Structure 1
Amino acid sequence: MSKIRVAVIGCGSIAKHRHLLEYDNNSEVEIVAVCDIVESRAKEAAEMYHANAYTSYEILLKTEDLDAVSVCLPNYLHAPVTIAALNAGCHVLCEKPMATSKEEAENMIKAAESNNKKLMIGHNQRFVSSHQRARMLIEQGEVGKIYSFRTAFGHGGPEGWSADGGDSWFFKKDQAFIGAMGDLGVHKADLLRYVLNEEVVEVGAFVETSAKENADVDDNAVFILKTESGVIGTLAASWAYTAKEDNSTIIYGENATLRLEDHPDYSLVVQYKNGEVVKYELGGIQSNEEGGQSTTHVIDHFVESILQDKEPLINGEEGKKSLEVILGAIESVESKRIYQMEK
């Protein structure tokens, strides 16, 4: 089979540091086009990867002969551009959160189905070795009954990472829809669903904007979650962890406690009830901090799904379920009640 012809729509930081780099490193892929409304950004990426530059995704989709598209745009554009690309006959890898509402997410899934194309959402936490190992240990019964968990994802905020710095779309409600919850919280909602291998059924949340003066979206969010088997725990998402990034998860079980990405040297530490401690060196999690840009495996998995014609691990349905946890948290904040997820 000839190489998969890919376009990347949106040439900001996530495209620059992850999508373009990882497509370029994949021998099965040819980057044929890039697009950004900031012309200089599109041209710079086009030059670097010998691709055609566009400032309009509509013109790109009409002009180029493509197999697949990465959507690396502000959150409010995820659904319309993904649907346009699917309708143009492309497989789509869309950044998270997949959409700004359940309806949008459902329309994306429908577009993928009706065009018989793959839709994958870029939740990279599922590909982290410590997370995969933890899921396996839980599945094998090593941890026993799960009692509780706590997970956090926080750093100093997107201004240090985003292409537009402090003026980034991340801080603007009309473009971002939500702040730290959408940037970081949805990753952790997806991770918990994956590692525990069950759905969230109830969510209560407190959400604040306390650290970013220029933001009209949340920068600190704490959720209390309950799963279908009755496991309760907390999820924190924050742009206010100014000293160091935290991307840790701790799972408390009957026979052992699993500490994921919580130790500087060991990505997984298993503390057994009998006092035994097992430390795993499994390679670090991807981070936005210096030296933290290891491969996310997201691109390779997407490409493999296309080549082998198999459903991606995080398809539209999975992306929607993780988004629904965040939408439930918003409902909880607005109603000041515990939100029960729809069955």
Structure 2
Amino acid sequence: MKLVRVAVVGCGAIAQRRHIPEFASNPNVELVAFADPVIERAQEMANQYGGKSYASYEDLLANEKVDAVSVCTPNYLHATVSIAAANAGAHVLVEKPMATTSEEGEQMIEAARRNGVYLMVGHNQRLMPPHAKARELLESGKLGKVLTFRTAFGHPGPEGWSVDGGDSWFFRKEEAIMGAMGDLGVHKSDFIRYLLGDEVSEVGSFISTLHKEGTQVDDNATCILRMKSGAIGTLVASWTQYKGGDNSTVLWCENGVMKIGTESGEEVIVELTNGTVEHYKVGAMATNEKQVPSGVIDAFVESILTNTPPSISGEEGLRSLQVILAAFESQATGKIVSL
């Protein structure tokens, strides 16, 4: 079987901790090139994993024939790099948020379609074992209809995660465009859509910079969502959960409650109104401290090898992004925004 030749653009934390090691451990992949404006970073990856280093994605695409490109750049470059890679005939895996506007997202989808390549968005929450199990339990019908929910994602902020610490692009509005909502909120808008098999119809939100100094990007958001099914719930994204960070979801249904990620070691708990309690130990969620394989890289490679469109497509990424963009519109206008 021919190896999938992969290039990685952007060699910061997400590339170093997830994309590159997961590509390297996939037996069907050859890592051939790395690009980063800090050329030393790209060179360090090339030294460790083989392949060539470039200071720009333009040089990389001009000099290398690759089958696929992982886009791990700051948010404002996601669309530009993804479109360039698609135009070079490469399949594209882009980090979330896939883009910073709906128009950019649509241009990315169009570029992939025009060039006959796949576009996949790195929404790894869908692939985490507890989340897959939760969806399976919901689909079994035992809980009945979902009535209300809450979903949240919070940690102390990117300064502890990014390779640049407090000087990270995450805090520069012109590069990040959005803060906690683009980093964490979009994961949860994608997850709740996936979990419920439903679309968001209306969004209201409070989005603020409460505690991070010297930045104009949001560090906290609390949103209310109404789904097309009528279910209502909250979505929280936070960069100021300095103790007791959160990556949990609770669904209150006709026949009971499902708790996902609320208790360590008990990843999914179902408490039914008839008194039955079910515990599912199905494997941990990935955290910044404990990296378990995301599943995203393997799913992307599998898509290419089997010529099967990825389930986390550009269209899916765009719908999840549009929820976040609607939340920003709600904050700006003080109104509920319909999708």
Counterpart of 1:34 in structure 2: which amino acid?
Answer: F
2:311 to 309, 313, 316: 313
Q: How big is each residue's C-alpha offset from its partner over 1:176-219, in whole Å with a ceiling of 9 and x where there is no partner?
A: 01000000000000000000000000000001101201221000
- Determine the structure 1 residue equivalent to 2:208: 208
User: Matches of 1:168 and 1:271 in 2, distance apart?
Assistant: 42
Q: How big is each residue's C-alpha offset from its partner over 1:95-137, in whole Å with a ceiling of 9 and x where there is no partner?
A: 0000000000000000000001000000000001111111112
- Determine the structure 2 residue equivalent to 1:256: 256
Q: How does 1:97-136 map to 2 (within 5 A)?
A: 97-136=97-136
User: Matches of 1:299 and 1:233 in 2, distance apart?
Assistant: 31
Gaps of 5+ in 2: none
Displacement after TM superposition at 1:89 (Å)? 0.3
User: Matches of 2:229 and 2:19 in 1, distance apart?
Assistant: 37
- Determine the structure 2 residue equivalent to 1:198: 198
Contact 1:256 1:271 in 2 (8 A): yes
User: Matches of 1:20 and 1:121 in 2, distance apart?
Assistant: 16
Displacement after TM superposition at 1:39 (Å)? 1.3
User: Matches of 2:7 and 2:17 in 1, distance apart?
Assistant: 15
Contact 1:156 1:244 in 2 (8 A): no
User: Matches of 1:244 and 1:60 in 2, distance apart?
Assistant: 42
TM-score by length of 1: 0.98
Counterpart of 2:337 in structure 1: which amino acid?
Answer: Y
Deviates more, 1:190-199 or 1:125-134: 125-134
User: Matches of 2:269 and 2:217 in 1, distance apart?
Assistant: 35
Contact 2:124 2:295 in 1 (8 A): yes
Counterpart of 2:176 in structure 1: which amino acid?
Answer: A
Q: How does 1:201-240 map to 2 (within 5 A)?
A: 201-240=201-240
Q: Which runs of 4+ in 1 moved over 2 A?
A: none
For these two proteins, the number of residue pairs brought into alignment is 339
Q: How big is each residue's C-alpha offset from its partner over 1:65-113, in whole Å with a ceiling of 9 and x where there is no partner?
A: 1000000000000000000000000000000000000000000000000
Displacement after TM superposition at 1:244 (Å)? 2.8
TM-score by length of 2: 0.99
- Determine the structure 2 residue equivalent to 1:336: 334
User: Matches of 1:65 and 1:115 in 2, distance apart?
Assistant: 15
Counterpart of 2:296 in structure 1: which amino acid?
Answer: V
User: Matches of 2:24 and 2:14 in 1, distance apart?
Assistant: 14
Q: How big is each residue's C-alpha offset from its partner over 1:209-255, in whole Å with a ceiling of 9 and x where there is no partner?
A: 01201221000000000000100000000001001321000011011
RMSD (Å), alpha carbons: 0.6
Contact 1:34 1:52 in 2 (8 A): yes
User: Matches of 1:256 and 1:28 in 2, distance apart?
Assistant: 44
Q: How does 1:133-148 map to 2 (within 5 A)?
A: 133-148=133-148
- Determine the structure 1 residue equivalent to 2:57: 57
Counterpart of 2:71 in structure 1: which amino acid?
Answer: V
Q: Secondary structure at the match of 1:267?
A: strand
Q: How does 1:1-343 map to 2 (within 5 A)?
A: 1-289=1-289, 292-341=290-339
Of all paired residues, the percent bearing the same amino acid is: 54
Gaps of 5+ in 1: none
Q: How big is each residue's C-alpha offset from its partner over 1:233-278, in whole Å with a ceiling of 9 and x where there is no partner?
A: 0000000100132100001101121100111111101111112111
Counterpart of 2:297 in structure 1: which amino acid?
Answer: I
Q: How big is each residue's C-alpha offset from its partner over 1:18-70, in whole Å with a ceiling of 9 and x where there is no partner?
A: 00000001000000000100011111111000110000110100100100000
